[in-house]
Chains A and B, each alone.
Chain A
Amino acid sequence: MLRYIGKRALQSAVGLSVLIIAVFFLARLTGDPAKLLLPINADQALIDEFRAREGLDRPVIEQFGVYVWNVMHGDFGTSLRRHRPALDMVLEAYPVTLQLAFTAMALVLVSASLVGSVAAYRPGSAVDRTVTVSSLISASVPDFWVAISAILLFAVTLQWLPTSGYGSDIRFWLLPLGVLVLRPFGMLVQVVRASMIATLSSAFVRTARIKGMSEGRIIYVHALRNALLPIITVAADQTVGMINGLVIIETIFGFPGIGKLMIDAVMARDFPVVQASILVTAIAIFTLFILVDLAYVALDPRIRHR
Chain B
Amino acid sequence: MLNLKRLAFLNIATAAGLFAGHGFAQDKTLVVVLPEAPVTMEACMGNNTVNGRVIRINIYEPLTVVSDTTGQVEPRLATSWERLDDLTWRFHLREGVKFHDDAPFNAEAVVTEMKRTLNRDRNCHTEQQYFRGFNMTPTVVDDLTLDIKTDVPVPILPTFLSTLLISSPNSPLEEFTLKPIGTGPYKYDGENPGTEIRTVKNPDWWGEHSNVDAVKYIWRGESVVRASMISVGEADLTPELAVQDATDPALDKPYVDAETLWLRIDTEVPPLNDIRVRQALNYAVNREAMLGTLVSKDAVPSTQITVKGVLGHSEDIDDEVYPYDPEKAKSLLAEAKADGVPVETPILLVGRTNILSNSTEVMEAIMAMFQEVGLNVTLRMTEIGEWREYHNRPYPEGRQPVIVQTKHDNNRGDAAFSLQPKYACDGTNAAMCDPEIDAMIAKATAESGPDRGKLMEEVFAKLYREWVPDIHLFHMVSYARVGNRIDYVPNLLTGIEVRIEDVNFK
A141: interface (CB < 8 Å): no
Chain A 216-248 per-residue mask, 1 if CB under 8 angstroms from chain B, else 0: 000011001100000000000000000000000
Question: Could you say which residues of chain B place their CB within 8 Å of the CB of A253?
Answer: 225
Chain A residues lying within 8 Å of B391, measured Cβ to Cβ, are 40
Stretch from A13-21, A91-99, A120-128, A197-205 at the B interface: A91-99
Contact A46 B132 (CB under 8 A): yes
A166 at the interface (CB under 8 A from B): yes
Additional A-B contacts beyond A41-B129, A41-B392, A162-B234 (20; CB < 8 A): A39-B128, A40-B388, A42-B128, A42-B428, A49-B120, A50-B123, A83-B40, A83-B175, A99-B15, A100-B15, A105-B11, A151-B225, A151-B228, A156-B232, A163-B234, A164-B229, A165-B234, A224-B1, A252-B220, A252-B222
**Residue A269 at the chain B interface, CB threshold 8 Å:** yes
Asked if B5 and A110 sit within 8 Å, CB to CB, the answer is: yes
**For residue A267, which residue of chain B has the nearest CB?**
B383
Q: Shortest distance in angstroms between A244's beta carbon and chain B's nearest beta carbon? A: 16
Most B-side CB within 10 Å, residue of A84, A96, A163: A163
One of B16-24, B261-269, B373-381, B450-458 contacting the partner: B16-24
Partner-A contacts on B (CB < 8 A): 1, 4-5, 7-8, 11-12, 14-16, 18-24, 39-40, 42, 120-121, 123, 125, 128-129, 132, 175-176, 178, 193-195, 218-222, 224-225, 228-229, 231-232, 234, 384-386, 388-389, 391-394, 421, 428-429
Query: What 3 A-B pairs have minimum CB-CB distances, sorted nearest first?
Result: A167-B22, A256-B194, A106-B8
A269 pairs with B129, CB closer than 8 A? no
User: In the complex, which residues of chain B have a beta carbon less than 8 angstroms from the beta carbon of A164?
Assistant: 220, 225, 229
**Complex formed: what's the CA distance from A75 to B273 in Å?**
53
**A168: which of B12, B22, B132, B194 is its contact (CB, 8 Å)?**
B22
Whether A220 pairs with B1 at a CB distance below 8 angstroms is yes
Inter-subunit contact B18/A254 (CB<8 Å):
no
Count: A-B pairs, CB below 8 Å: 145
Given A35-B388, A43-B392, A99-B18, CB of A254 within 8 Å of CB of B218 = yes
- Among the listed B21, B175, B385, B428, which residue makes an inter-chain contact with A31, where contact means beta carbons less than 8 Å apart? B385
Say yes or no for A276: interface residue by CB 8 A criterion. no
Pick the contact of A38 from B12, B20, B128 — CB < 8 Å?
Answer: B128
Chain A: CB-nearest residue to B21: A168
Q: How far is the CA of A39 from the CA of B392 in the complex (A)?
A: 11
Chain A interface (Cβ within 8 Å of chain B)?
A: 30-32, 35-36, 38-44, 46, 49-50, 53, 81-84, 92-93, 95-96, 99-100, 102-103, 105-107, 109-110, 113, 148, 151-152, 155-156, 159, 162-170, 172-173, 220-221, 224-225, 251-254, 256-257, 260, 269
Most buried by B among A83, A100, A162, A221: A83
| Shortest beta-carbon distance from A155 to chain B in Å | 6
Question: Considering only CB atoms, which chain B residue lies closest to A31 in the complex?
Answer: B385
B176 contact set on A, CB distance < 8 A = 83-84
Contact among B1, B22, B42 for A221, CB-based, below 8 A: B1
Residues on B with beta carbons closer than 8 Å to the beta carbon of A31 = 385-386
CB of A41 within 8 A of CB of B429, answer yes
Q: Is the CB of A170 within 8 A of B20?
A: no
Known: A39-B128, A110-B5. A99 touches B39 (CB 8 A): no
Give Cα distance in the complex from A163 to B218, angstroms. 13
Taking the closest CB of chain A, its distance from the CB of B234, in whole angstroms, is 6
Q: Which residues of A are found within 8 Å of B178, using beta-carbon distances?
A: 84
Question: Are B388 and A166 in contact, CB atoms less than 8 angstroms apart?
Answer: no
A41 to B82, CA, bound (A): 30
Known contacts A163-B232, A164-B229; decide if A148 and B428 are in contact (CB<8 Å): no
Q: How distant is A87 from chain B, measured CB to nearest CB, in Å?
A: 14
**Min C-beta distance of B397 to chain A, whole Å:** 15
Partner of A41, one of B8, B193, B421: B421
Pick the residue among B20, B175, B224, B386 that contacts A167 (CB under 8 A). Answer: B20
Q: Kindly report which residue of chain B lies nearest to residue A251, judged by CB atoms.
A: B221
Residue from the list B5, B14, B225, B386 in contact with A99, Cβ < 8 A: B14
Q: Which single member of A39, A81, A109, A159 contacts B4 (CB below 8 Å)?
A: A109
Complex contacts, B40 vs chain A, CB 8 Å: 82-83
